[in-house]
Amino acid sequence: MDEKKIAIRVTDLDKVYKLYEKPSDRMKEALGLSKRKRYKAHHALSQVNMTVYQGETVGIIGTNGSGKSTILKIITGVLNPTAGEVKVNGRISALLELGAGFNMEYNGIENIYLNGTMIGFSEKEIEAKMASILEFADIGDYVYQPVKTYSSGMFVRLAFAVAINIEPEILIVDEALSVGDVFFQAKCYHKFEEFKRMGKTILFVSHDLSSISKYCDRVVLLNQGTKLGEGTPKEMIDIYKRVLVGQYAVPEDKESLLNDRELAAAAERSVTGKKNTAKAEGPAGVNPELLEYGNNAARITEYFITDEAGIHTTAVIKGQEFTLHMKVEFMEDVPAPIFAFTIKNIKGTEITGTNTMVEKAFLDSVKAGGKKEVTFRQKMSLQGGEYLLSLGVTGYEKDLFQVYHRLYDVLNLTVISDKDTVGFFDMGSVVEVAEL
């Protein structure tokens, strides 16, 4: 592609923050009263390069603190870079942090004029777009009230309606849609699709991997201020899953991208379940405050999920096969242990699950000291979204139900989907339409 088709070019971008232990240290340095360095340098971004072409929808993903929001703020001019260069070819409309660019004392109408003027529109041009903005926001008479009285949902409705209806050439969105309700989010994504058809450029940050997979042409992966790679949504989401599982550390030279050896090493690291003796932050996806109980005749000592490639993960692509692994150690003789798992949605509704008794997979007794590894392999048919996994080892002794060990909501399971049907799961329908 030639230069005129480039919408955004980021070259060798650095952003360094000076972290001072005390406010007086900042003052001494500002006044030149200190000969030694009194701050620690925090690299929010380090040597990041990125090109976005006109008409593309590009997503940026990464863990918290990876520099996603920072790079968007630099591109939009909210922050200045420490080093490097950003070139933008086109009029930008940005929806960054909730409330950015709004005056809390002004009402909705006044803020529409304020934002439109900041972007470069005349009062007459804003008036021409007012009806479409108000229709999209759909907040009724609240538009005449000060925005400081708005709920977060109303606020994001108005902010997005302004950003998306002033006909920008480049739309930049930073996770703002997570505040709106599902109906408003659906309306916004319909607008995204309309923008794509019109050849507009969209750059957005999101933790919603299903949206990244469905809407993005290309994805950039950041980690701890360093660009790890860019490519198709599937490629980058697969790498991101490995980064999450392996708790990947950025190379000291801050220039290396993930290579095959590093990816393999990350994939070998498992998400391991351990007794919850402290509320310390555990491996990615593991609940540090899980509920567990049982009579300790058996204990679940390890648990993890692998995708169809055998990679440890807590994110599974809809339609692909995945395996749940559970390792159990027995402290006492158990006549007929039952190994089970349950998947719930984040509201606590049990969606699905099974056990070895139902599946007639294991009906034997186990002696004290015995160890078993249980695997449940199945195709992912759940809709895209976030789910919670619970595990258990139970059984019957003289017709009395026994709980040896249960772990509730132990793992967060993310389902990535670019096609969601109605309800909790996809029936895998094959559709045909024929002429009569």
pLDDT averaged over consecutive 10-residue blocks of the chain (436 residues)?
A: 75 86 71 69 89 92 88 89 91 70 87 82 86 88 90 82 81 70 72 83 85 86 90 82 57 45 37 34 62 90 93 92 96 95 85 94 93 96 92 91 91 89 87 90
Helix, strand, coil % over all residues of the chain, rounded to 5:
25, 35, 35
Angle formed at CA 141 by CA 135 and CA 142, multiple of 5 degrees: 95
Pairing of strands 385-397, 400-416: antiparallel
Q: Which of 138, 141, 136 is nearest to 164 (CA)?
A: 136
* Every domain range in the chain assigned CATH 2.70.50.60: 291-416
Query: What is the structure's pLDDT at 181?
Result: 64
Fold assignment, 291-416: Coagulation Factor XIII; Chain A, domain 1 (2.70.50)
**DSSP letter (8 states) at residue 67:** S
Is there a contact between 337 and 395 (Cβ–Cβ < 8 Å)?
Answer: yes
Per-residue pLDDT, 284: 57
CATH number (3.30.2320.50, 3.20.20.70, 3.40.50.300, 3.40.50.2020) of 1-90+199-269 reads 3.40.50.300
Report d(CA 81, CA 357) in Å as an integer: 60
Confidence (pLDDT) at 275:
37
Residue 242, pLDDT score: 67
Q: Is 109 helix (H, G, I), strand (E, B) or coil?
A: helix
**Burial of 276 by CB count in 10 Å (0-12 exposed, 13-18 middle, 19+ buried)?**
middle
Q: Which of 113, 85, 118 is nearest to 9 (CA)?
A: 85
Amino acid at 130: M
What pLDDT is attached to residue 328? 96
Which residues, 6 or more positions from 179, have their beta carbon under 8 angstroms from its beta carbon? 98, 152, 153, 155, 156
Residue limits of CATH 3.40.50.300 in the chain: 1-90+199-269
